[in-house]
Structure 1
Amino acid sequence: MLLGRVVQHLLSYSSHSLPATESNDALQFPTVSFLTSWQVLGPFQIGTREAIWGADPLEQHGGFRALEYNNATTFRSSLAANGTIRWSNLTAKVPVPDIFHTTAELNVSFPDIDWKALRDVYGWAAYQWQAWARGQIVVQGDETEYVALYTPQILEFWVDDVHYFGGDFYDYKRVPITIRLAPGIHLLDVRLVRDIRSMGGVSHPDMQINLDLRKISPGLKAITQTETSTVLLSDFIGEGASLASPYASVVLRNDGHQDVEMTGIHINPNIGRVELLSSRIRLVPGQTRPVAFRIKCIPPSGQYPSQKRINIDFQYRVQGHDEDTTLVVSAEPRIVPAGKAHKVTFMHPGGVVSYAILRPPSRKAIQPARTNQTFPILLNLHGAGVDVDSDVVREVMDPLPDLQAWVLFPTGGTNWSGDDWHSWGFADVEAAVAMIEDRIERFDWKGPGVDENKWLVAGHSNGGQGTWYALTHRPDKIFAAAPISGYSSIQNYVPYTFSHVADPGRTAIKEAALLSYKHELLLSNAKGIPVLQQHGGADDNVPAYHSRLMSQLIQEAGADSQYFEVPGEGHYWDGVYTTEALTDFYERQISLEVASVKGTPLNLRDFSLVVANPGDTGSKHGVEVLQLATPGQLARIDVAFDPLTLACIVRTTNLRMFRLPPYFRDCSFVQVDNQKMPISFEQSDASSTLTKQSEKWETTPLKTHPPTRLGHQLGPLDSILHTNGPFHIIPHTPQASPLALQISRNLHQYFSADTSLTTTYATALHNTTGNIISLATGASLPPCPIYKDFPIQIRAGGDAVFIRGPNNIPTLIPNIAGLGLAAVFLRPLPDERLELVVWGADLESLALAARFVPTMTGTGVPDFVVLNREVLWKGLEGVLAMGFFDSQWDVSGKAFIA
């Protein structure tokens, strides 16, 4: 049977011409390849970013993997005529593979579906669908093959009986799945999820899939990070070609069978010194990690013979061996003239090396500058899929060479800015801003310094959305903003219309978990900040409606903006960043900021601050929200100044704790919610913190049971991304190790994050940096280390979840036979660290919980979720309990417990 399929597969190559240099005698057939025949079942309905929650109707039938092809069998689908669909056949384009590499190209379409009618009524949401495709991989010969499988645009798939979740939805091609395949035919079941955000809203909602399978050899490998280099390295600057930053990294993958530990690092002889930034770096088999290092004392490039190449030697030891092995990685640094935009590396808070493109002020710009003057930052946020280390980005501001500003293009961590410029991506922005001062000191800069707290933020497309985020979440840092062709919010870009139906109690919590993305509700924070919006009138990627809507809403919120719609222009055009309107806006606002002399604080106008999550929102005029009374619900603080009496009147909604800046000491009195406050400031530059208890505001610290939830611990489940250092992933049972490895690869794939895989919980707890991800089954989960009476517990037998709900009402959720039981929830650690618990009653249930470890944005996962296998076909409706923890880590009143 196998031989017949292999012969048929090889004969299918007859339509392809072989290389002229090959003869039949010399021809070597590939030992691993895809077969051309595929079977497809679909399409089925799915909502925006709903695949994380399951929502696969075939799971009611045991899953696609349990189904055999039968064209006579029908399945219910809301997208098809008569409400039914059948299996179909598809022939993949499989080019002649070589002995190491094979691909399969699938063009999946459903011409029998009346897509136009659906879109006319429901818009882009109707162009999102899901289906499954089954193909085969054949391994010839007698030996097991070790392969890397790349799955661009795929989130979920099965190889034989092994499930993989995470894939490569954004087509990064950064971290493949490594698999060992025995001789024979292997089934490959691929879940297809068409997503407008990542694939576009086109006239025909087809899906082009390009699977890539490559044979690999055991050993430690360096992974290409850019088109030209495996080393992430700063540019060399100026005539002497000095390195812009000492930070560098190489992504390594362990394709061996044993653990690998780094033991040392060296650079080309006689050109400098280099050191690893971590004392212990271990890679388990199959793991990918970015290895960060620092280059010291490297001389100008003209002083060593090989100006165009630097070699980095990594020493490592394979477990069970006594001697070190060396891996040599080469880089060809780019040399950039002084004053031009150049790449600078820096450390992301997550413990990885990131980079940004920086252009310092020109000589002409600094000539009229005053002594000790500082220039602001023109912060440019890129769109989805854009690599800032490209000539297009480096040169996009060239028409404005003499701005009195430091021009900065951060990456956000990835080409998709990590998470749409939110938790992970915005941490990268702030780290890039902090890098500028180091860059100034490194080059002994003689011109104006940088004001790290004064930004003119601009961005295109997804960067336009990021501009709205920055404007509404860091209003004290923004002196002007220019969203260009940006969408208003992820919820409004592609509505969640086609998501599976769910109880409003559940959907409300999911939507509440996305409140920080809902910029339309936060525009009061922009009051007093000049905003210029620009959009192409013919934009079919991000419709101009988004900018028109925000132009209306920002005015209704008491702020204002200028709006320029460019007739006939689409989503992007040459000069989109430097149109006449934008040029005038940049120059005017930067000039005003450079020349401004700030008045006294009490001359400020009345203002408001609206907060969805204090963990990702800064202050407005120094007033900062620290805790909400009810998480998952907007909070608001309104401040009014009486110019005659100098009274300061504060009104709050849904606040538990907030901070007043030092200038409130100049108020004749402070009134908070009709309560006159005896506020004292111990020091002239100190702030005052107010906390509410029993409906009364207090200025003294309150005695509460430990621990209090503050800072980076605040926010829904994706607050785990606020890690300060690499993640520590701990499988508390050995059987969970494969899932721990999947989570590790997903975090690097989607965020470029670093992870340490360890089985020692105590070591991870005592490490002073890095958030923890714990994987546990049954009764293997240790208790919360700093809150023994944590409101979510696993029953002693490991077969039920106990929840101490609002008002201390207990609920026990049992493991029902055949449905399993899983939970994913946050727990507090010291120093604002977090632990993400991923638990299942068994390994199958654990895989359900692992789906919710952050990958894509817009999924709306709250602080905790308890579920069973019903979510796989019901989606959100299958959740048993979900909700938020309050400021004392107790379950909030907004929780849903079935």
Structure 2
Amino acid sequence: SGDEAALDLIVEAGGFREEVELKLRVVGEGEHRVETYLSRVDGSVHSYGLKPPKAAEPRGNYGLLISLHGFKGHPYFSELYGDKDWLFAVGPSARDGEVPYREVGCVEVLELLEWVASRYPVDRDRVYLSGHSMGGYGAWFIGVRYPHLFAAIAPLSSRGDLSEDAARLRGRRGWGGVAELLEHYNPANFAENLSATPVFVSHGSADDIVPVEASRRIVEKLRGAGVEVVYEEVEGAKHTWGSVKPGRYGLDCLDRKSIESFLAKHARRVPRRVRAVVDSDRFSKVWWVRVRPSRGTARVDVELAGGGELVIRRAENAAEVEVDLGELRRLGLGRELRVVYGAEELRVSVEGRERLALRLEGGLSLAEGVADEGLRKRVPVTGPFMDAFNRPFLIVYPEGSPACREAALHVQRWWFNWAGGRARLVTDREALAARLERGFNLVLVGGPSLNTYAREVESGIKAVRFLGPDAVAVRGVRIERESVGVALVYPNPLNPKRYVAIVGGESEEAVEAVPRIPFTLVPDYMVYDPRLLGRAWEGVIETGFFDERWE
């Protein structure tokens, strides 16, 4: 420990050469270190902090705490924890920046969980999620969307309810779709998903950045939903407090006896009863239940009762419910399952099955063999717009258009600056000739009159019609201005398992406004006035989501 080494790093590419001397220090047992992993999204390398248990044994069985940093905070929260003998503390870097922990920020946390658990002796039933401020929001969001992954969560000094933000946007003309998107990102709407995942919430009473009322409100909502929650309000404390000192506990607002004791007493246990709130197929699994909404948001309450009886107590807006029989066998399920839904009953032999899909619309029945024709919002193409950036993607621009190339370069720079990511540019003709939609989501710059690839897929994007530089029809409604632009996402007609996104429009003016499109606020589509976008609320003309059939 403490030994130093120097490494000469030489980078050569395209006639460019640079030499850098890296000074390295060998860390000791139990010391904090910074490691890297390779993102499957775009092949970029990102760092994370890791503090192992003191005297960790390779064949041991340790807990794992993932702690998410706040906006402009310490890049690796793991470094702010004290010395533990029972868990690894991991601090994601938000892709070496400030990416909120939804969309690709959420993907990073899930990738990192799998990466660390595959490299270190981690007990998957003792994985915990915490975070402070923006990181606390991340703990809320990821916690309600993936409650089955965690033994407990601990959001600290944070907001878990975005209802007021959504309400303010809902009152602005054209911004209703953005308000709906915020509700999709609003953890408070999915509080029931935590019914089997204990929660510790902490906040300083004198917080001058995130008001303490934010935690008080969501704690009240959790208690109303029957969630096990401990709330600790620290009198007189502001947004952060304490200092890092040698010993068992670190920065007081993140790591103190009450928080560690709460986490340590909980291990992940598969519940017999699952309550799930689901609004998208990409977040359809809650413990051993997978829900497919018929429309809007589905709410289900399912219990494995005694005697091999599966009782569906509630099913609002739920077209199908699928249960993981492997998980139910851990709870004692035998060879036969008796399904009860209201006055209906179904007996099913489950021997040799891994899953059982039940159709609820039109009466209780098995869902196997039920035709699902045409486009549906199903994984891997569910929307919203930002989901196109959650898997490998390319930026496609038309040859011969300097404006489109410059806009494509902006998207590339935006991805690097915002997500620390790598994005490759190709021309429209290259994309068509190489059939790049087979392996990538494609972000097209320019509409059909400018971009050959957009022209090729235009007829398959049934919900949108480009009507020239001054008009577009979305979901049958014609929108006309002196100039209009769009940002949209849709299953690629040439490969419906991948996305095609279009940014810009049919005029250079619409394309030149691409740098002002707020990509992270686009639901499935946004229509904008390029003269006003980014300068006035009226720059956004219309926003929204396509329906379940992408119409």
**CA–CA distance in structure 2, aligned partners of residues 865 and 495 of structure 1:** 17
Deviation of 1:753 (Å): 1.6
Paired AA for residue 225 in structure 2: A
Give the aligned partner of residue 377 of structure 1: 64
Deviation of 1:491 (Å): 5.0
1:230-629 pair list within 5 angstroms? 307-316=5-14, 324-350=15-41, 351-363=43-55, 374-389=61-76, 393-398=77-82, 401-416=83-98, 418=99, 420-440=100-120, 449-452=121-124, 454-492=126-164, 497=168, 502-503=172-173, 506-575=174-243, 577-578=251-252, 582-587=256-261, 589-593=263-267, 604-615=271-282, 617=283, 619-625=285-291, 627-629=292-294
Paired AA for residue 30 in structure 2: G
RMSD, aligned CA: 3.4
Distance change >3 Å, CA 409–CA 309, structure 1 → 2:
same
CA deviations 1:41-83 (Å, max 9, x no partner) are xxxxxxxxxxxxxxxxxxxxxxxxxxxxxxxxxxxxxxxxxxx
Paired AA for residue 406 in structure 1: F
Q: In the alignment, is residue 730 of structure 1 matched against residue 397 of structure 2?
A: yes
Aligned to 2:409, the other structure's residue is in SS state helix
Paired AA for residue 81 in structure 2: M
CA deviations 1:420-478 (Å, max 9, x no partner) are 211111111111112224534xxxxxxxx213464211111111111111221111011
The answer on whether the counterparts of 2:469 and 2:484 sit within 8 Å (CA) in structure 1 is: no
1:758-777 pair list within 5 angstroms? 758-759=426-427, 760-762=430-432, 765-766=435-436, 768-777=438-447
Distance change >3 Å, CA 696–CA 640, structure 1 → 2:
closer
Paired AA for residue 208 in structure 2: D
Q: Which runs of 5+ in 2 are unaligned?
A: 244-249
**CA–CA distance in structure 2, aligned partners of residues 764 and 338 of structure 1:** 50
The answer on whether the counterparts of 1:732 and 1:780 sit within 8 Å (CA) in structure 2 is: no
Aligned to 1:376, the other structure's residue is in SS state strand
**CA–CA distance in structure 1, aligned partners of residues 30 and 261 of structure 2:** 19
Distance change >3 Å, CA 628–CA 453, structure 1 → 2:
farther
The answer on whether the counterparts of 1:379 and 1:408 sit within 8 Å (CA) in structure 2 is: yes
Give the aligned partner of residue 640 of structure 1: 303
Distance change >3 Å, CA 532–CA 874, structure 1 → 2:
same
The answer on whether the counterparts of 1:823 and 1:849 sit within 8 Å (CA) in structure 2 is: no
**CA–CA distance in structure 2, aligned partners of residues 410 and 344 of structure 1:** 10
Q: In the alignment, is residue 844 of structure 1 matched against residue 509 of structure 2?
A: yes
Deviation of 1:530 (Å): 2.0
Give the aligned partner of residue 525 of structure 2: 864
The answer on whether the counterparts of 1:347 and 1:431 sit within 8 Å (CA) in structure 2 is: no
Deviation of 1:795 (Å): 4.7
Paired AA for residue 771 in structure 1: N
CA deviations 1:785-841 (Å, max 9, x no partner) are 7895331344576764344x3xxxx44445x4xx21222211214474322111312
Distance change >3 Å, CA 831–CA 379, structure 1 → 2:
farther
The answer on whether the counterparts of 1:474 and 1:618 sit within 8 Å (CA) in structure 2 is: no
The answer on whether the counterparts of 2:11 and 2:17 sit within 8 Å (CA) in structure 1 is: yes
**CA–CA distance in structure 1, aligned partners of residues 112 and 308 of structure 2:** 43
Paired AA for residue 553 in structure 1: K
The correspondence for 2:338, drawn from 654, 658, 669, is 669
Give the aligned partner of residue 131 of structure 1: none
Paired AA for residue 749 in structure 1: N
Give the aligned partner of residue 188 of structure 1: none
Distance change >3 Å, CA 439–CA 554, structure 1 → 2:
same
The answer on whether the counterparts of 2:510 and 2:530 sit within 8 Å (CA) in structure 1 is: yes
Q: In the alignment, is residue 789 of structure 1 matched against residue 460 of structure 2?
A: yes
CA deviations 1:665-690 (Å, max 9, x no partner) are 64641235655446565734x12334
The answer on whether the counterparts of 1:405 and 1:590 sit within 8 Å (CA) in structure 2 is: no
Distance change >3 Å, CA 569–CA 468, structure 1 → 2:
same
Query: What is the percentage of aligned positions where both structures have the same residue?
Result: 20
Aligned to 2:312, the other structure's residue is in SS state strand
CA deviations 1:100-136 (Å, max 9, x no partner) are xxxxxxxxxxxxxxxxxxxxxxxxxxxxxxxxxxxxx
CA deviations 1:313-335 (Å, max 9, x no partner) are 3232xxxxxxx443334433343
**CA–CA distance in structure 1, aligned partners of residues 24 and 438 of structure 2:** 35
Aligned to 2:130, the other structure's residue is in SS state strand
The answer on whether the counterparts of 2:469 and 2:507 sit within 8 Å (CA) in structure 1 is: no
**CA–CA distance in structure 2, aligned partners of residues 589 and 873 of structure 1:** 44
Distance change >3 Å, CA 557–CA 672, structure 1 → 2:
same
Deviation of 1:709 (Å): 3.2
Give the aligned partner of residue 688 of structure 1: 356
Aligned to 2:231, the other structure's residue is in SS state strand
The answer on whether the counterparts of 1:648 and 1:668 sit within 8 Å (CA) in structure 2 is: no
Q: Which has the larger radius of gyration?
A: 1
Give the aligned partner of residue 246 of structure 2: none
Distance change >3 Å, CA 853–CA 836, structure 1 → 2:
farther
CA deviations 1:289-327 (Å, max 9, x no partner) are xxxxxxxxxxxx8xxxxx3232223232xxxxxxx4433
The answer on whether the counterparts of 1:730 and 1:757 sit within 8 Å (CA) in structure 2 is: yes
Deviation of 1:716 (Å): 1.9
**CA–CA distance in structure 2, aligned partners of residues 879 and 395 of structure 1:** 42
Paired AA for residue 470 in structure 1: I
**CA–CA distance in structure 1, aligned partners of residues 546 and 508 of structure 2:** 27
The answer on whether the counterparts of 2:53 and 2:88 sit within 8 Å (CA) in structure 1 is: yes
Q: Which runs of 5+ in 1 are unaligned?
A: 1-237, 242-300, 302-306, 317-323, 441-448, 892-898
